[in-house]
Amino acid sequence: MGTENQGYPNIPGRTTSSPFASAPPPGVPPHSGGPAAGSETVGFRPFPPSASQPIRPFAPSGPPMAPPVGAMRPGQSPLVSQIPGSRPPPPSSNPLPSTAYGPPGGGGSFQRFPSPPFPSTQNPPRGPPPPQTLAGHLSPPMSFRPQQPIAPVTMGPPPQSMTSGPPGGIASPPAADFNMAARPGFQQSMPPVNPSYPGGVISQPSFPGYPSKQVLPAPPMPFQSASQGPPSYPPQAGGFAQHPNLAAQQNMHPSYAPPPSNVQGLVEDFNSLTLSNIPGSIEPGLDHTKFPRPLDGDVEPNSFAEMYPMNCHSRYLRLTTSAIPNSQSLASRWHLPLGAVVCPLAEAPEGEEVPLIDFGSSGIIRCRRCRTYVNPYVTFTDSGRKWRCNICSMLNDVPGEYFSHLDATGRRMDMDQRPELTQGSVEIIAPTEYMVRPPMPPIYFFLIDVSFSAIKSGMLEVAAQTIKSCLDNLPGYPRTQIGFITYDSTLHFYNMKSSLSQPQMMVVSDLDDIFVPLPDDLLVNLSESRNVVEAFLDSLPLMFQDNANLESAFGPALRAAFMVMNQLGGKLLIFQNSLPSLGAGRLKLRGDDPRVYGTDKEYTLRVAEDTFYKQMAADCTKFQIGINVYAFSDKYTDIASLGTLAKYTGGQVYYYPGFQSSIHGDKLRHELARDLTRETAWESVMRIRCGKGIRFSSYHGNFMLRSTDLLALPAVDCDKAYAMQLTLEETLLTTQTVYFQVALLYTASCGERRIRVHTAVAPVVADLGEMYRQADTGSIVSVYARLAIEKTMSAKLDDARNTIQQKIVKALREYRNLNAVQHRLGSRLIYPESLKFLPLYGLAICKSTPLHGGPADISLDERCAAGFTMMALPVKKLLKLLYPNLFRVDEWLLNPSADHHDLKDVLSRLPLAAESLDSRGLYIYDDGFRLVLWFGRMLSPDIAKNLLGADFAAELSRVTLQEQENGMSKKLMRLIKKVRENDPSYHPMCLLVRQGEQPREGFLLLRNLIEDQMGGSTGYVDWILQLHRQIQQNA
Ligand SMILES: [Zn+2]
């Protein structure tokens, strides 16, 4: 937003004046004028398409696979519990029938804005004064506090959250052992046995918000309340198949348990209870095939939308439960996080646009006391002359220009022409009071490493070509500005003045006392200097092609970039190919010291070492500079430190370990293009207001807090989400509903200052059961994942995992206490329908790259990069990363009639377990960051030939999938293209692996089959048993 304190004038405001023009600027003058007679319609324009959608279809990103690192050790079993036992060899491959496959995206069914004028019916919350949220008006000088607003930390504390990098799935080094067992032909040894997975039995209710009745697979036996001893599982036919070798190996792990044996389906109807049972008994009935699995992907909660049709879409705001507890005591029994995930610029649902509103002469209508923006839930009274704020209950005057008569029902006559009174999401044009300076132009500044490795890897060439190819599509023409600095052991500035025909390069070698030569011509208007910029990008790779310099004066270069950019702000893209070695901010090879692993100091490797990085991030945020870090080295580069720059400036980390243009070039091209061309909100601030009695007490994601509740986001886009937790401030809430309003004040690329407002309401309840019924697993998992990653910045990985496990145990224990006794569920594990996937996602969080295994199982940089990435992911994207798609494609490829169907109709997602893999099949694993094609050992050679051409028998690590001249190949390529287009935020690289190919198969796929027990990590069955046992303790 507007601004920050840097000396800009304060905005005049009634309540308080805040220096920010931004978002929720407190200070806009309240419109208190008396009611006037005429009503005026405000112009309403549809939101410009350009503003809301990225132009390119690219999706980029994922981290490339990490090259197999040799050093990996198999993970230690974090969550393993001690269940002795062993599993029988499994049957192996099941030919899986295809299961019905729901739309991955789920949910689109609802209607957003049915017109009913809802407002009048709602009872306005009564109440006292302004919610605490208001406070923020004043925007104090920005203090740098990482996450928790509450406890202001000054610059110091390590960030608790990180984000953006390569997604978790990225390659982890194969543990040597890991290849293990599992691989050797796990399937062939067994004849396909029962098709248990295939949807039949499991009848999973489709996740209705309120299940009224469902069929639950319940094993006849209760989870054997094995309370006291380790359960032993009887072997069962359909169980998890494992290769004998694997089983043998697993003897090392006490926790290894045999698959359950007979399956029995017991149908129960918990109709009024919304309970689900898990087949729990160890003995006879533990049927893992019936365990809940999110094979339909994320399903957005829709009960919220049905109850309150004028709420904003859940893609913008998802509460962890749509039923807000009415007391602190009730909240304390909930145990799960109480909060929300907000993605303020999420792309609008297809066919819908966020309306753009100009209040014109009446000024923006906001509550005089709490600064809430007028929304569908305010009520008009006194013949239309006054309106009551739904958040603080303040009775405000309606400005004359905004006046409208009311009809007999109290509804404004002009309601249908006022989107802000009927829709939960609107975009408001902000007048000059919301600016502390003229809206900035879009600015892209590039800081590029041109040392030896940057050249050799091909990074420099790909980056230069991609930037050049995007010049026509950078947002904001003709105001867009651009500039470059390159560096190795010295800094290179480029004069891009439009009157030149070639850029002039100036070298600065004094790293201790940086000065910027020609400060006015280093950042230039792109349209004016287009020729010079193109000439520069064309010549850049050549200029340094023979550069043998190995040093990296990254810190001084960063300072120089800051000096060039701090007049206006903008987006700074950093391309770093090695460990910063010279000048301020130089880093050490601390991540290479194994002595720290496993000690109490281990976490320090995951936080920035030098305060230089946090300080630079704070300075950049203050001056509206958002940083994205692109890192490419195959050696340790201290992503923990570099990523801090992105974390506190609202940016993102892209990690391409061991970058080679021939392999990762496409990925970089797509992801960089997406980054450069997606619609971006500049100089933004975001605040979320909520009703009296509750307040947001902590925030988690990539941003910097400017005051207790104001998030500074120098540059934000549709791919960024933020999680936050709520606290009840009052012992008892007296209102029947609680309102939430997200306001993002920003400068659009077109130069308009705007406020994007999302409003929603949720009921206040006195019943814990209702809170559970209204729980949203996706939102809860998003909060948990962020909390867990933050925890790794101050504790051991084991502690972070245990924390997640304990949180789930407490929540399910409470739920059990609520229901078990009267229904004699005895030894069963029970959970609400709404949370049926929570245990599995909890396990997935523990197995995700930031938390997985031991310190040495995954390279430190990879772990940190994944953490930075996950901290920013929107809900759907995060859930897909945690429980990726796995589907079989060979049968579909062979079926000529299957071509025109929608993917979801043809391809069914499979459980992420080795037993889902048939050695006669071809499978695709897709976590949103990479696609792995797994070729079964017994796959028909014809298919392999069709798809791979002459390379069909080659070492697949060297083969790149390319379209061949035959229908099958084209069909597969179309499928891959579609998968990428469906989720353009990152560009998954396509990797090929053959069954049994070690160690690639292990780290590309097997390690990611999270339901399996591997290398010491807990499998789904054991995880459920552990949870159940712990839940029963002290139950
Ligand atoms: Zn108010």
The pLDDT, as a whole number, for residue 98 is 32
> Residue 369 Cα, ligand 1 centroid: separation in angstroms?
5
368 alpha carbon – ligand 1 mean position (Å): 6
Ligand 1 center to 130 CA (angstroms): 6
The band of 23, judged by pLDDT with boundaries at 50, 70 and 90, is very low
Question: What is the Å distance from ligand 1's center to 685 Cα?
Answer: 20
Distance (angstroms) between ligand 1 centre and the Cα of 757 equals: 15
Q: Output the pLDDT for position 215.
A: 31
Q: Assign 269 to helix, strand or coil.
A: strand
How many Å apart are CA 679 and CA 571, to the nearest integer? Answer: 12
Structure tokens at 988: 């998954």
Dist. CA 136 → ligand 1 center (Å): 14
Kindly tell me the sign of the dihedral angle through the C-alpha atoms of 580, 582, 586, 587.
Answer: positive
* 149, pLDDT greater than 90: no
Q: Which of 853, 934, 827, 831 is nearest to 890 (CA)?
A: 934
Give 75 Cα–ligand 1 centroid separation in angstroms. Answer: 53
C-alpha 783 – ligand 1 centre gap (Å): 28
pLDDT per residue as tens digits for the range 428-452:
999 998 998 999 999 999 999 999 9
Is 1022 within 8 Å of 282 (Cβ atoms)?
Answer: no
d(CA 437, CA 424): 29
Confidence category of residue 600, pLDDT binned at 50, 70, 90: confident
CA of 421 to the centre of ligand 1 (A): 16
What's the CA gap between 274 and 269, in Å, rounded? 9
Structural tokens at position 293: 């699995």
- Residue pair 324/308 in contact (Cβ under 8 Å)? The answer is no
- Separation of 699 CA from ligand 1 center, angstroms? 23
Higher pLDDT among residues 75 and 287, named by residue: 287
pTM of the model: 0.75
718-765 residue pLDDT tens:
999 999 999 999 888 899 999 999 999 999 999 999 999 999 999 999
Ranked by mean pLDDT, the top range of 205-209, 665-669, 829-833 is 665-669
Distance 94 CA to ligand 1 centre (A): 60
> Distance, CA 115 to ligand 1 centroid (Å)?
24
617: phi > 0 → left, psi -120 to 50 → alpha, else beta; which? Answer: alpha
Distance CA 629, CA 769 (A): 45
Distance 779 CA to ligand 1 centre (A): 27
Instruction: Please state, in angstroms and rounded to a whole number, the distance separating the CA atoms of residues 329 and 967.
Output: 63
CA distance 321 to 745: 27
CA of 387 to the centre of ligand 1 (A): 10
Q: Which residues make Cβ contacts (< 8 Å) with residue 844, sequence separation at least 6? A: 882, 883, 1010
Task: Decide if pLDDT at 105 tops 70.
Answer: no
Distance in Å, CA 380 to ligand 1 centroid: 14
Range name among 20-34, 472-486, 654-668 with the lowest pLDDT average? 20-34
Q: What is the pLDDT of residue 901?
A: 60
Which pLDDT does position 49 carry in this prediction?
Answer: 34
Beta bridge partners of 494: 505
CA of 25 from ligand 1 middle (Å) equals 14
**Shortest CA distance to 272 belongs to which of 323, 333, 210?**
210
Which runs of E-coded beta strand occur in 789-920?
Answer: 829-832, 885-888
For residue range 313-370, what is the model confidence (pLDDT) as tens digits?
999 999 999 999 999 999 999 999 999 999 999 998 888 899 999 999 999 999 999 9
User: Is the pLDDT assigned to residue 228 strictly greater than 90?
Assistant: no
pLDDT digits (tens, 9 = 90+) for 457-493: 999 999 999 999 999 999 999 999 999 999 999 999 9
How far is ligand 1, taken at its centre, from the CA of residue 723, in Å? 24
pLDDT value at 90 more than 50:
no
Task: Report how far ligand 1's centroid is from the alpha carbon of 116 (Å).
Answer: 23
Cβ proximity of 667 and 64 under 8 Å:
yes
Q: Are the C-beta atoms of 4 and 144 separated by less than 8 Å?
A: no
Q: pLDDT value at position 97?
A: 33
> Does residue 116 have a pLDDT over 80?
no
- Ligand 1 centroid, distance to 6 Cα (angstroms): 29
User: Is-contact 449 336, C-beta < 8 A?
Assistant: no
Query: Separation of 138 CA from ligand 1 center, angstroms?
Result: 16
What letter does residue 704 receive in the DSSP assignment?
Answer: E
Q: Among 135-139, 411-415, 802-806, which is the least confidently predicted range? A: 135-139
Is residue 126 over pLDDT 90? no
For residue 317, count other CB atoms closer than 10 A to its CB.
25
Measure 367 CA to ligand 1 centroid, in angstroms.
Answer: 5
- Return d(Cα 708, Cα 295) in angstroms, integer: 39
Tokens 């281990």 found at: 602
Task: Tell me the pLDDT band of 396, cut-offs 50, 70 and 90.
Answer: very high
Q: What's the CA-to-centroid distance between 691 and ligand 1, angstroms?
A: 9
Average pLDDT along the chain: 76
CA–CA separation, 55 vs 47, rounded Å?
15
State the distance from the centre of ligand 1 to the C-alpha of 353, rounded, in angstroms: 27
**695 C-alpha to center of ligand 1: Å?**
14
Gap from CA of 687 to ligand 1 centroid (Å): 14
* Backbone Cα Rg of the chain: 28
Query: What DSSP state is assigned to residue 794?
Result: T
394 alpha carbon – ligand 1 mean position (Å): 5
CA 98 centroid distance within chain: 29
Q: Scanning the structure block, which residue is given the tokens 């009267």?
A: 822
CA of 968 from ligand 1 middle (Å) equals: 61
Give pLDDT, residue 337. Answer: 96
Q: Which residues pair with 92 in a beta bridge?
A: none
Q: How many residues does the chain have?
A: 1035
In this model, does residue 289 exceed pLDDT 50?
yes
Q: Are 620 and 672 in contact (CB under 8 A)?
A: no
Which segment, 344-353, 400-409, 809-818, 850-859, is predicted with the most confidence on average? 400-409
The 3-state DSSP class for residue 711 equals strand
Model confidence at 595, in pLDDT bands (50, 70, 90)?
A: confident
CA of 16 to the centre of ligand 1 (A): 14
Whether the per-residue pLDDT at 550 is higher than 80: the answer is: yes
Lowest-pLDDT range of 140-149, 178-187, 609-618: 178-187
Least confident of 92-106, 489-503, 749-763, 800-814: 92-106
- Please state, in angstroms and rounded to a whole number, the distance separating the CA atoms of residues 269 and 75: 40
Cross-strand partners of 49:
none
CA pair distance 276, 98, nearest whole angstrom: 24
**How much is the pLDDT for 173?**
32
Specify the amino acid at residue 427.
E
Tell me how far the alpha carbon of residue 395 lies from the centroid of ligand 1, in angstroms: 8
Other CB atoms within a 10 A radius of the CB of residue 986 amount to 30
- The mean pLDDT value for 834-845 works out to 95
In this predicted structure, what is the pLDDT of residue 855? 73
Q: What share of the chain is helix, strand, coil (3-state, %, to 5)?
A: 30, 15, 55
Q: What is the pLDDT of residue 247?
A: 32
Q: Provide the sign of the torsion angle of the four alpha carbons 591, 596, 599, 601, taken in this order.
A: negative
Q: Give the three-class secondary structure for 952.
A: helix
Ligand 1 midpoint to CA 459 (Å): 52
Give distance in angstroms: CA of 889 to centre of ligand 1.
55
Higher pLDDT, 25 or 385: 385
Q: For residue 364, what are its two tokens?
A: 């923006």
Banded model confidence at residue 385, pLDDT cuts 50, 70, 90: very high
- Residues forming beta bridges with residue 275, ordered by sequence position: 832
Residue 271 has pLDDT above 50, yes or no: no
Instruction: Fill in the DSSP letter of residue 65.
Output: P
Ligand 1 centroid vs 743 CA: distance in angstroms?
14
- How many whole angstroms from 396 Cα to the centroid of ligand 1? 8
Looking at mean pLDDT, say which of 576-585, 592-601, 1016-1025 comes out highest: 576-585
Task: State the distance from the centre of ligand 1 to the C-alpha of 314, rounded, in angstroms.
Answer: 23
User: In 3D, which of 103, 283, 100 has the Cα closest to residue 201?
Assistant: 100
**Interval between CA 374 and ligand 1 midpoint (Å):** 9
Q: What is the C-alpha to C-alpha distance for residues 414 and 76, in angstroms, rounded to an integer?
A: 64
Work out the widest C-alpha separation in the chain, in whole angstroms.
85
Interval between CA 988 and ligand 1 midpoint (Å) = 46
Rounded CA-CA distance 325/333 in Å is 10
CA of 424 from ligand 1 middle (Å) equals 17
CA of 742 to the centre of ligand 1 (A): 14
CA atoms within 13 A on the CB side of 919: 21
Q: What is the mean pLDDT of residues 762-769?
A: 94
Q: How far is the CA of 351 from the centre of ligand 1 (A)?
A: 32
DSSP assignments along 275-292, one per residue: EEEE---TTTT--GGGS-
Banded model confidence at residue 955, pLDDT cuts 50, 70, 90: confident
Q: Which of 127-131, 478-482, 917-921 has the lowest mean pLDDT?
A: 127-131
Range 232-239 average pLDDT: 31
Taking the centre of ligand 1 as the mean of its atom positions, its distance from the CA of residue 373, in whole angstroms, is 8
The DSSP letter of residue 322 is: S
Distant-in-sequence, close-in-space partners of 595: CB < 8 Å, separation ≥ 6: none
Residues facing residue 833 across a β-bridge: none
Least confident of 460-469, 579-588, 811-820: 811-820
